[in-house]
Chains A and B, each alone.
Chain A
Amino acid sequence: MVARNLCIVGLSHRTAPLEIRERLAFNGPEIGKALGSLKQSAKAVTEAALVSTCNRVEMVAVAADPDAACSEVISFITEQRRLERKLFERFHYRLAGRDAVRHLFRVGASLDSMVVGEPQILGQLKAAYAQAVEAGAVGLILHRAFHKAFSVAKLVRKSTAIGMGGVSVSTAAVKLARQIFDSLKDKTVLMVGAGQMAELTARSLVRLGVESLLVTNRRFERAVKLASEMGGTAVPFEHFRPYLKLADVVIGSAAVSEPLLRPDDLGPVMRERYNRPMFMIDLGVPRNFDPSINALDGVFVYDLDDLGQIAADARYEREQEAQRAEIIVEREVDSFCHWLRSLDLVPTIKAVRSRIEVLRELELKRHRSWLATLAPEDRSRVEALSRGLTNKILHQIVSELRSLGHEADAQFVAAIARRLLGAQGSDASRSSLCLREGGQGDDDPSA
């Protein structure tokens, strides 16, 4: 009996600090390659998708043996990212079966987000799914699991107020700006990098009165485009440093391997600014600004974790809505697990089918000589009669099996069914005598 199981190995803002997460993050093109080589190296994993965002790095996998699969995935990720296995294991979590399904749905519904209800995660999950599909790593179960996660997210968003109004990382940043600056009108914002969240933050600041905006980005065209959209000025990435002294708010979201700005860079800038306060919002993972800049007088550096913490303080108001969302998620987890369990019955159903088909053929064979005396149309009539009879019996048995699988332990039900009919599950795939009916469609009983 092949019980296929969903499992998840990973770490998130709940379990691991930013320092670890930023070392593990995979960017878009890397994910496809990683899934490709995972297929080669991890034998226990049959399907996989890699979710890598600022707040989480998770491998969602399907395997018969979750323990073996998790272990393979950990080896894989730590080798890919050159992280000590011990370090990874200290911060990671692994989930299997129902827990894994629930986790995936909760992530999609933004219940596991740093800021519960923030809408970005769904897009990120969709992107992760698309990348895995493209890498050919997604099979029946993951297809279904991800699509279900998307529809659960939609359902939660529609039927609870979880996404309403609340505090996101960018609004937290804006709130902080108002604790530092009295008026935003005469302030200058410098965007280093053009990440989505950075754009959101910059837009809110502009809405609140900021009139001077500088945008710099590695891809200059993108900086020009953003700047023209928001009424700012684009600055070449290579030459953005001289503009630092003008900037009261610096928003970092550039893709970097190590910090762009360090305390040594900021010291002279602050002197040139006559120590006017400076607010540095670091939305990059890995971080754009060395956190020790925060020790400088008059500079305030907030990274994603800091902002998330502040946003989380405002989160409790949404607790009520989140609880309603959890109920929805739980219901959907139930239905998905039923489906997953009914998949366990597929080999049994196949075995029962082939067993009865074998019996039918045997009977026909026994009367071969008599059948030969009949006219061709009578012969096909007898044939049809035998098939009709077995199909009627099969239909009853199979539908009973499936409904039983939803209620009770599917494996147990399957074992009884096989015993009653003298059909051995493991033989089913081998007894390829007559598998005319055991086609693709059987893999998905609900199809």
Chain B
Amino acid sequence: MTLLSFAALAAYLVASVAFVLDVWRPNERSMNVAIKALGLGAALQALDFVVGALVFSALPVTGFPRSLALLAWTTALAGLAIIVKFRLPLVGALVAPAVSAALGLACAGSGQNHGALPEALRSAWLPVHVTLAFLGEALFVIAAGVSFLYLIQESRLKAKRPLEIPQSRLPNLEKLDRINYQLLTCGFVLLSLAIVSGAMWAASTWGRFWSWEPVESWSLVLWLLYAALLQSRLAVGLRGRRAARLTIALFAVLLCSYVGINLFNPGKHGGSFG
């Protein structure tokens, strides 16, 4: 891994500390530091990708560590957007440590580098497909984080101890539920587009849309699961606690399949997952 990755990791760690401290001692200044550090980390990673792309003359996404780094980057970007748009600093306390952990693992595991991208996969589809897929996953990660916040808030309200953490920190249930829904919808759209773009790319490279690769199969499974979750929200009025738990459960499936495929059976995707 490059020096830039380590610098980004350092920035993410600073952001994590600031976000976590901010939960217990909310103040404007630490909040600003946290958001800026998260943004700096994302910018450094972006620079890292650009440098990598120039070196390899394609987006460097092969291998588990690079894939993890990419996931960390999209998650940091999406997290930043959510924190600023919805004024949800608590999401930072979940996202920044997760991003740090992912990038930390990526840096630690950079020994098993799978090298450059095969010639056959160098195509304009690559950045499109990969960005869609990883952004979609990042949104699912953040949706799980928001669901986690929902469960905390809900259990505090149920236990009738709701005002311990300054209330401005933990948003109301309705808002958390709505954000969760919006994130899932956006993530689902991105995942769908990623699958479609992947299929088109496959058609142009390998001559067929679908080849039942592990990544493809698992993407389809996840797509179906998220489709079912969204459908139940719309049709049956699934929401609140159960929706939050299911979002977290689906995130667990996503995480397991992502790690599992990357470690044991990368297939033609060569370690990336989309």
Answer whether A275 and B172 are a contact pair too, CB < 8 Å, given A175-B167, A179-B157, A300-B158.
no
Cβ-defined contact, B163 with A182, below 8 A: no
Cβ-defined contact, A310 with B240, below 8 A: no
A64 to B173, CA, bound (A): 59
- Asked if A181 CB lies within 8 Å of chain B CBs, one says yes
- Asked if A294 CB lies within 8 Å of chain B CBs, one says yes
Picked from A175, A179, A313, the residue with its CB within 8 Å of the CB of B173 is A179
140-161 of chain B: CB within 8 A of chain A: 153, 157-158, 160
Set of chain B residues within 8 Å of A182, measured between Cβ atoms: 171-172, 174-175, 178
A297 to B157, CA, bound (A): 12
Cβ-defined contact, A274 with B239, below 8 A: yes
46-65 of chain B: CB within 8 A of chain A: none
Answer whether A179 and B239 are a contact pair too, CB < 8 Å, given A294-B158, A300-B158, A310-B162.
no
Picked from B160, B178, B241, the residue with its CB within 8 Å of the CB of A302 is B160
Residue in B170, B174, B238 with the greatest tally of chain A CB atoms within 10 Å: B174
Answer whether A297 and B240 are a contact pair too, CB < 8 Å, given A302-B160, A310-B160, A310-B163.
yes
Cβ-defined contact, B163 with A175, below 8 A: yes
- Asked if A80 CB lies within 8 Å of chain B CBs, one says no
Cβ-defined contact, A297 with B242, below 8 A: yes
Cβ-defined contact, A313 with B175, below 8 A: no
Set of chain B residues within 8 Å of A268, measured between Cβ atoms: none
- Asked if A180 CB lies within 8 Å of chain B CBs, one says yes
A436 to B238, CA, bound (A): 87
- Asked if A321 CB lies within 8 Å of chain B CBs, one says no
Set of chain B residues within 8 Å of A147, measured between Cβ atoms: none
Answer whether A277 and B158 are a contact pair too, CB < 8 Å, given A297-B242, A313-B163.
no
281-338 of chain A: CB within 8 A of chain B: 294, 297-298, 300, 302, 306, 309-310, 313-314
Set of chain A residues within 8 Å of B236, measured between Cβ atoms: 274
A314 to B240, CA, bound (A): 28
- Asked if A365 CB lies within 8 Å of chain B CBs, one says no
Cβ-defined contact, A181 with B172, below 8 A: yes
113-170 of chain B: CB within 8 A of chain A: 153, 157-158, 160, 162-163, 167, 170
- Asked if B111 CB lies within 8 Å of chain A CBs, one says no
Cβ-defined contact, B153 with A179, below 8 A: yes
Set of chain A residues within 8 Å of B173, measured between Cβ atoms: 179-181, 277
- Asked if B237 CB lies within 8 Å of chain A CBs, one says yes
- Asked if A176 CB lies within 8 Å of chain B CBs, one says yes
A179 to B236, CA, bound (A): 25
**What does the 1/0 interface line of A96-137 toward B look like (CB < 8 Å)?**
000000000000000000000000000000000000000000
Q: Which residue of A lies closest to B153 (CB)?
A: A179
Cβ-defined contact, A176 with B162, below 8 A: yes
Set of chain B residues within 8 Å of A181, measured between Cβ atoms: 172-174
- Asked if A178 CB lies within 8 Å of chain B CBs, one says yes
A297 to B175, CA, bound (A): 17
Residues of A at the B interface (CB closer than 8 Å) are 175-176, 178-183, 271, 273-277, 294, 297-298, 300, 302, 306, 309-310, 313-314
Which 6 interchain pairs have the tightest Cβ spacing?
A274-B237, A182-B174, A182-B175, A306-B160, A298-B240, A275-B237
Taking A179-B170, A277-B174, A297-B240 as given, write out 7 further A-B residue pairs in contact, using a Cβ cutoff of 8 Å, ordered by the A residue number: A175-B163, A178-B167, A180-B174, A181-B172, A274-B237, A310-B163, A314-B163
Could you jot down 5 A-B contacts, CB within 8 Å? A179-B170, A180-B157, A180-B173, A275-B237, A300-B158
